[in-house]
Amino acid sequence: MKRGEDDQLMPVLFVGHGSPMNGIEENEFVAGFRDIAAQISKPRAVLCISAHW
């Protein structure tokens, strides 16, 4: 596959979910997730790998 000029390599992030409360609470981890999201461009796809069924 040939890369076009519009293609950019996206960063690879490991994001541990931590506490399920991070989905509903406002805390330092949630603020960190928002900071990272503001620094990278919107991805075309997301790969999620989980040990949970």
Q: Using the predicted structure, report yes or no on whether residue 44 has a pLDDT greater than 70.
A: yes
Q: What is the pLDDT of residue 43?
A: 85
Summarised one tens digit per residue, pLDDT across range 1-38 is 566 666 678 888 887 777 888 878 898 988 988 999 89
Buried b (16+ CB within 10 A) or exposed e, 23-46: eeeeeebeeeeeeeeeeeeeeeee
Residue ranges of the domains in the chain? Answer: 1-53
Tokens of 11: 């960063």
What pLDDT, on a 0 to 100 scale, did the predictor assign at position 38?
94
